[in-house]
Structure 1
Amino acid sequence: MKKEITRRSFIETSVLAGVGATVLPAFSQSFLNSKDQRSDLEVHIFSKHLQFLDYRDMADAAAQMGFDGIDLSVRNKGHVLPERVKDDLPKAIEHIKAVGFEPKMITSGILSIDEPFTKDILETAVKLGVELYRLGYYKYPKNKSIPEAISDIKKQLKPLSKLNKHYGIKGAYQNHAGLDFGASIWDIHNAFKVLNNGFMGCQYDIRHATVEGGKSWPTGLKLIAPHINSLVLKDFKWALVKGQWELVNVPIGKGMVDFKAYFKLLKTYKIQAPVSLHCEYNLGGAEHGRKDVSLPQKEIFDAMKQDIERIKALWAAVE
């Protein structure tokens, strides 16, 4: 992977610009080992937003910003490409571990056991200690009814769930607003009723649940709670753009997601799952996973750092 920046320029533009490159490894390790710096909500940064960095600088940046880990993208146009997973995933995990992180989660595009790189990804990930992967997204075909489509999706999920059990890794399907499978929490619940081996669950996304559910999202959360094995945090608002109402992604706490109510329910239901922070508001292209970002790196890091600080403050404020 081509380095986009030098290690010295990374340090000079980071959120901790005063920390010299010669002391960075020791700083990162002590930072991560300090219990008072952590929240009991384990927050990982989605590496899609750091794809302008190589593996080492990505890990260093995540550590400096105060994250608890990295949700590594292992998919087409990701940090690790599926066809190179055997060679590149070990390299990425090596740097993730070097700053004291455990490689708990990755994001894939996997939908079936029959896809070319499914087994390569899962085998390699498990060998490196990865505990959970996010799947891709199932589409609703135009030529089939919704019940027929869900039946077909179950036929793909069931053998994939068995493969997960074989390898000892958990799969997670993200609820995502729109017209595909999983926009409605009831879709996922319906499909997961037959998957009771504990190796396939839901990556619950409160932003998308709020978009689709409005004020009813707590009902969906209660329904899917037993299946949640990971979480996604991000925020949004509706805005009038050129005469049309559109969804606009914003930093954590600046939008319509009711984090106080949400965090209270997570604590009530005793849902303890790793969190992936998605920064989908304007970050000079980093929000889309671009490698040629248009904002100074320090601005991107500062924005992410503010997100995690708001998350931890909101979490701590809820009894």
Structure 2
Amino acid sequence: MARMFNRREFMLRGAGAGVAAAALPGSSYADAVPPPAASTPVTGAMPWKIDIYSKHLQFLRDPHEVALAAKSMGYDGLDITVRPYPGHIDPARVKQDLPPFVQAVRSNGVEVHMVTAPIADADSPHAEEILETAASLGIHSYWWGSFQYVKGQPILPQLEAMRPRVAKLARLNEKYGMTAMYHCFGGEHTVNDKVFVSGPMWDLLYVLKDQDPRFVGIQWDSCHMTNAGGMRTWELNLRTAGPYIRGVSWKDSLPEKAADGRWLPHYLPLGHGNVELTRANAVLREIGFNGPVEIQPEHMKGAAGDGKDKLVESREWVSATMTEDLRTLRAAIVESETYKL
């Protein structure tokens, strides 16, 4: 495993100009953080396929190019964004555009295990068309979310009001043989100050209570859940949620104090933050997890990290960075087989 180091060490590891260059006009994050050196390939059995979230390839619009990029980096599959532009598939055109996109991806030897769509409940726009189309293509999992708290209002009544919405969505998923995976967020959202259900985990499990995890479950986000559950509370939460864990999303970070006094995640390459990659994978093995796994390299900061449609950093840097994240995760998965919990 790569040595864990703090944010200052990470930010200073680039030679010469360092990360300070990223703050200069006309420079980019990629200028300041050089691509990782080529690493020894990881060998060992992989219990799970690993996908790349297509949000980070939205600078490529042709499905063949998207697939070949994922394949060249070593990924097994794609989680396709069914979201308004720059998402790869517009939800309003899912019936027309998703089938040929998926066919093109698969023709290049890359699988599609799931999609990410703006579905909060069964009444979300285009929800049924998305589920019906995905199911017809043999895709049976999708990113689901998210429920938000109304600040200043009692918590339990809000959670109770969400339960009928979940039950209705579960019935729709059962109709099409789909699994909704609620993407976990920890604490107050760093962009718009929204507070999502799932930070402490008990609240999400309360909403999911009595529902069949085959139809409504959880996509466990390693970064958000580690930050929300420090001192290995994340592990207790992961074990408690066990049967509902239907997918895993990997990213890493270290806490950083913002100007307003809040502690927010500073995203880092996998293996360089506070996510215990090997231990978390060992827990996933122990609870019998068997679902789609993906990497979300949000630490890249630039166009690829933010899901933009035009790349400002070099394609080589993006590819090397995503490849190294994959190598790091695979190494942790191999190590987790003999890890003692």
Which of 168, 190, 214 is equivalent to 2:230? 214
Q: Partner residue of 2:171?
A: 162
**1:193–1:56 CA distance, 2 compared to 1 (3 A):** same
Q: Return the alpha-carbon distance in structure 2 between the equivalents of residues 288 and 125 of structure 1.
A: 25
Deviation at residue 241 of structure 1 after TM alignment: 6.3
Match of 1:99 in 2: 108
Q: 1:109 aligns with which of 114, 118, 138?
A: 118
- The one of 112, 137, 149 aligned to 1:128: 137
In 2, the alpha carbon distance for the partners of 1:118 and 1:38 equals 37
- Residue 253 of structure 2, aligned match among 217, 220, 236: 236
Bigger drift between 162-171 and 265-274 goes to 265-274
Residues 132-141 or 142-151, more deviating: 142-151
In structure 2, list runs of 5 or more residues that go unmatched.
1-34, 36-42, 188-194
Give the conservation status (yes or no) of the 8 Å contact 1:41–1:312: no
- The number of residue pairs the alignment matches comes to 285
Query: Are residue 291 (structure 1) and residue 300 (structure 2) matched?
Result: no
Given residue 39 of structure 1, which amino acid in structure 2 is its aligned partner?
M
Name the counterpart of 2:207: 191
Verify the 8 A CA contact 2:183 2:218 in the aligned structure 1: yes
For residue 223 of structure 1, what is the aligned residue in structure 2? 240
- State the distance in 1 between where 2:120 and 2:245 align: 18
1:203 aligned residue: 219
Structure 1 residue 282: Cα displacement? 2.5
Pick the structure with more helix per residue.
1
Q: Normalised by the size of structure 2, how large is the TM-score?
A: 0.79
Sort the Cα spacing of 1:84 and 1:38 in 2 relative to 1 into closer, same or farther, 3 A: farther
Per-residue CA deviations over 1:167-193 (Å, capped at 9, x if unaligned) read: 111111011112211122111111111
SS in 1 for 2:246: strand
CA distance 1:38–1:96, change in 2 (3 Å): farther
Which has the larger displacement, 288-297 or 189-198? 189-198
1:82 aligned onto 2:91:
yes
Q: Does 1:270 align with 2:307?
A: no
Distance 2:316 2:258 in 1: 29
Unmatched tracts of structure 1, length 5 or more: 1-14, 16-35
Shift in CA distance, 145/246, structure 1 to aligned 2, threshold 3 Å: closer
Segment drifting more, 259-268 vs 162-171: 259-268
Taking the aligned partners of 1:119 and 1:92, their CA distance within structure 2 comes to 19
* Residues 44 and 70, structure 1, Cα contact 8 Å, conserved in 2: yes
Q: TM-score, normalised by structure 1?
A: 0.84
Contact 1:283 1:295 (8 Å CA) reproduced = no
1:112: how far off?
1.9
Q: Judging changes above 3 Å, is the alpha-carbon distance between structure 1 residues 316 and 171 closer, same or farther for their aligned structure 2 residues? A: same
Q: Which amino acid aligns with 2:249?
A: V
- Is the contact made by 1:52 and 1:289 (CA closer than 8 Å) also made in structure 2? yes
Percent of matched pairs sharing the same residue = 30
Which residue of 49, 52, 70 maps to 2:56?
49
Q: Report the Cα distance in structure 2 between the residues aligned to 1:240 and 1:294, rounded to whole angstroms.
A: 28
Paired residue for 2:28? none
